[in-house]
């Protein structure tokens, strides 16, 4: 048994080395790689990912799992969860016919290329036949993944274990009932802050200094976390000792990078504070996509967009941008950072309206996968829901159904985890506030008690606990979306004096 475990761990270390190489190459490609390096990069990534796939599905892995799985209860907690996770992945891959899997990978690569061009030329018709193929496969896939579940539930489970349509229907109904009238009231009250003073030039070298201040306020250890510049910000990395945080600077919009850094900073804090024992293990990362997003949104929206945080950072901004900030008071900065207005583009949406963008995608995916909607009717259905939920008219598909890349990559069931992340965040914030006076802690400028609480309850477990277990143990209650709608209602009623 000891020998088997040793071989298993050696295999995991090898897999980790491939992940390490791919993670570092990916960060390199996004930050400093010269343009003409793209072909070599793609070639190397292809080789590395194929080798990595072989390690996780090859005969050595199969034999080791076959020996370890029956002895699961005798294993230590980490090894047991590793055996469970890798076993599940392997089983799943075995149920999908190889030929279909390979064809689907080729179809998604082609669809991604066509989507890019279709979006830029506002041409849904050219993308539709590709999307039809991906939808057809995703109608079939649930039968391989878990034929006992409703089809769309099986897809949801790929991104957020345990998430079901039953939960999401109740969740989105609550969100819709609370937020749609509130958003309408805000639109009608006409009391938007005048943020024109913020429309100035904020030199990028100075914005870089602001990022350094933000990262240090967030208690991020720069000896374990790099900060790079990319087109679309993300957080990547290798292990808790090597996290890669990124941002994008817009000279005329200082708040864009500000909140990117705080959002990605939340992701980075999670990775930086997983347990030492999980370094090199496939479990040494977030519990799920939704839980990871809960941490970025907790820092970005609930802490970063609080009056206390804005007041805390304001002096640094006034020092770095003395001319630009002359006409911007801390209160105006706070109001501008929390301006809510229905819009067309999900990635630019504010905190209040964001979940309605996700709700549109959720309703459409459910119908597409269930067979109630066909790809050819998608643009019209999209536009109708944007009108119904957000009250906006979609002028063209470029600003409508073609805006996101997810469907071109075959990711159906992924969007809901973005919204669920915000709802998890509200519940976690409420649980934490029973132990810590969060506004006072933020005002003090020392956020370490907040990070310590989150480490104790969430970060250190990595993937040892599943999302629902983690919420239950961290908050003392199962997931309840009421925290989220109450939080938003309270915050925005106060902001707009309603
Ligand atoms: Zn995120």
Q: Give CA separation, 240 vs 336, 421, 434, in Å.
A: 34, 22, 28
Mean pLDDT of all residues belonging to the chain: 95
Q: Separation of 468 CA from ligand 1 center, angstroms?
A: 19
pLDDT band at 39 (very low <50, low <70, confident <90, very high): confident
Ligand 1 centre from 295 Cα, in Å?
8
Residues 17 and 143 placed together within one structural domain of the fold = no
Enter the tokens of residue 407.
């469907």
Average of per-residue pLDDT across 407-436: 96
Residue 381 falls inside a structural domain: yes
Residue 215 lies in a domain: yes
Instruction: Give the strand order in the sheet containing 225-229.
Output: 225-229, 242-247, 235-239
Region at 244 (left for phi over 0; alpha for psi -120 to 50; beta for the rest): beta
Helix, strand, coil percentages (3-state) for the chain, rounded to 5, are 70, 5, 25
Whether residue 330 is contained in a domain is answered as: yes
User: How many angstroms separate the Cα of 257 from the Cα of each of 45, 207, 323, 355, 479?
Assistant: 29, 8, 19, 22, 31
Using the mean position of ligand 1's atoms as its centre, give its distance from the Cα of residue 431 in Å: 21
Residues 80 and 158 in one domain: no
Contact by Cβ (8 Å): 65, 86: yes
Distance separating alpha carbons of residues 292 and 463, to the nearest angstrom: 11
Helix, strand, or coil here: 42?
Answer: helix
Domain edge (last residue) among 61, 77, 95: 95
Assess whether 38 and 186 both reside in one domain.
Answer: no
The helix (run of H) or strand (run of E) holding residue 225 is: strand 225-229
- pLDDT tens, position by position, 259-302: 999 999 999 999 999 999 999 999 999 999 999 999 999 999 99
> In angstroms, what is the span from residue 267 Cα to ligand 1's centroid?
7
pLDDT band of 238, cuts 50, 70, 90: confident
Calculate how far, in angstroms, residue 293's C-alpha sits from the geometric centre of ligand 1. 5
Distance 67 CA to ligand 1 centre (A): 38
Stretch 374-400: mean pLDDT, rounded?
Answer: 97
Q: Is the pLDDT of residue 72 over 90?
A: yes
Containing structural domain, residue 235: 121-498
Q: 226 and 85, same structural domain? A: no
Domain contains 102: no
In a domain? residue 252: yes
Q: Which of 247, 241, 237, 243 is nearest to 214 (CA)?
A: 247
Q: What is the DSSP letter of 389?
A: I
Sequence-distant (≥ 6) Cβ neighbours of residue 115 within 8 angstroms? 127, 130, 402, 405, 407, 408
**pLDDT value, residue 350:** 95
Cα end-to-end distance, the chain, whole Å: 66
The pLDDT value recorded for residue 105 is 85
Residues found in the chain: 498
* Listed residues 79, 95, 111: the one ending a domain: 95
Q: Is residue 164 predicted with pLDDT exceeding 90?
A: yes
**226 SS3 class:** strand
CA of 443 to the centre of ligand 1 (A): 25
Instruction: For residues 160 and 294, give the distance between their C-alpha atoms in angstroms, rounded to a whole number.
Output: 12
CATH code at position 319 = 1.10.1370.30
Same domain, 128 and 60: no
Within this chain, do residues 82 and 162 fall inside the same structural domain, yes or no? no
Query: What does the pLDDT look like over 310-344, one tens digit per residue?
Result: 999 999 999 999 999 999 999 999 999 999 999 99
Q: Which residues of 415-442 are buried (b: 16+ CB within 10 A; e: fewer)?
A: bbbbbbbbbbbbbbbbbbeeeeebeebb
Q: Which DSSP state fits 123?
A: -
Q: With respect to residue 128, please indicate whether it lies within any of the assigned structural domains.
A: yes
- Expressed in angstroms and rounded, the spacing between residue 296 Cα and the centre of ligand 1 is 5
Dihedrals phi, psi of 252, to nearest 5 degrees:
-95, 5
Are 86 and 134 members of one domain? no
Asked, for residue 482, whether it belongs to a domain, the answer is: yes
Per-residue confidence band for 237, with pLDDT thresholds at 50, 70 and 90: confident
**287 CA distance to ligand 1 centroid (A)?**
14
pTM of the model: 0.94
Are 366 and 275 part of one and the same domain?
Answer: yes
**In angstroms, what is the span from residue 264 Cα to ligand 1's centroid?**
6
Domain end call among 55, 78, 95:
95
Q: How far is the CA of 230 from the centre of ligand 1 (A)?
A: 15
pLDDT above 90 as % of the chain? 87
| One-character DSSP codes across 297-338 | HIIIIIITTSHHHHHHHHHHHHHHSTTTTTT--HHHHHHHHT
| pLDDT value at 45 more than 90 | no
Across 188-196, average pLDDT: 88
Q: Give a yes or no: residue 414 inside a domain.
A: yes
Q: Are 330 and 439 contained in the same domain?
A: yes
Same domain? 192 vs 309? yes
454 shares a domain with 311 = yes
Distance (Å) from CA 257 to ligand 1 centroid: 14
Same domain, 205 and 83: no
Distance 204 CA to ligand 1 centre (A): 23
Q: Catalytic amino acids?
A: 264
Which pLDDT tens digit goes with each residue over 99-133?
A: 898 889 889 988 988 999 999 999 999 999 999 99
Three-state secondary-structure class, residue 476: coil
Q: Which residue has the tokens 């990635």?
A: 347
Q: Mean pLDDT over residues 37-52, rounded?
A: 88
Number of domains in the chain: 2
């Amino acid at each position: 048994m000891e020998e088997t475990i040793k071989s298993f761990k050696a295999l995991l270390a090898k897999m980790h080395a491939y992940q390490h190489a791919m993670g570092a190459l990916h960060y390199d490609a996004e930050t400093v790689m010269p343009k003409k390096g793209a072909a070599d990069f793609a070639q190397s990534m292809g080789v590395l990912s194929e080798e990595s796939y072989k390690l996780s599905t090859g005969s050595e892995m199969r034999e080791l799992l076959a020996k370890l799985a029956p002895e699961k209860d005798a294993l230590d907690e980490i090894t047991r969860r590793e055996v469970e996770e890798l076993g599940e992945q392997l089983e799943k891959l075995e149920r999908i016919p190889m030929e279909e899997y390979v064809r689907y990978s080729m179809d998604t690569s082609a669809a991604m290329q066509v989507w890019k061009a279709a979006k830029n030329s506002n041409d849904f018709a050219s993308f539709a036949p590709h999307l039809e193929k991906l939808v057809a496969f995703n109608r079939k896939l649930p039968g391989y993944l878990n034929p006992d579940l409703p089809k769309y539930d099986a897809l949801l489970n790929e991104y957020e274990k345990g998430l079901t349509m039953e939960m999401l229907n109740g969740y989105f109904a609550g969100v819709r009932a609370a937020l749609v009238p509130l958003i309408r009231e805000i639109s009608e009250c006409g009391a938007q802050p005048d943020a024109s003073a913020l429309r100035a030039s904020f030199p990028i070298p100075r914005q870089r200094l602001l990022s350094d201040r933000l990262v240090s306020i967030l208690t991020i250890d720069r000896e374990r976390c790099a900060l790079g510049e990319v087109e679309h910000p993300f957080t990547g990395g290798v292990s808790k000792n090597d996290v890669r945080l990124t941002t994008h600077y817009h000279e005329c919009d200082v708040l864009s990078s500000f909140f990117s850094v705080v959002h990605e900073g939340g992701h980075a804090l999670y990775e930086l504070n997983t347990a030492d024992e999980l370094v090199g293990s496939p479990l040494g990362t977030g519990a799920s996509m939704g839980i990871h997003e809960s941490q970025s949104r907790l820092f970005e929206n609930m802490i970063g967009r609080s009056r206390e945080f804005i007041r805390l950072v304001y002096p640094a901004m006034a020092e770095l941008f003395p001319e630009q900030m002359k006409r911007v008071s801390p209160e105006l900065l706070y109001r501008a950072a929390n301006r809510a207005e229905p819009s067309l583009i999900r990635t630019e949406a504010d905190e209040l309206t964001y979940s309605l963008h996700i709700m549109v995608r959720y309703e459409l995916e459910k119908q597409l996968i269930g067979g109630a909607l066909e790809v050819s009717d998608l643009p019209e259905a999209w536009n109708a829901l944007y009108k119904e939920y957000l009250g906006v008219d979609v002028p063209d598909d470029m600003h409508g159904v073609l805006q996101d890349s997810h469907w071109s990559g075959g990711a159906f069931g992924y969007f809901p985890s973005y919204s669920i992340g915000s709802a998890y965040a509200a519940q976690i914030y409420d649980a934490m506030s029973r132990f810590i006076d969060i506004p006072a802690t933020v005002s003090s400028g020392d956020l370490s008690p907040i990070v310590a609480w989150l480490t104790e309850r969430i970060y250190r477990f990595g993937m040892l606990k599943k999302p629902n277990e983690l919420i239950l143990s961290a908050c003392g209650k199962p997931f309840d979306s009421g925290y989220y709608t109450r939080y938003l209602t309270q915050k925005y009623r106060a902001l707009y004096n309603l």
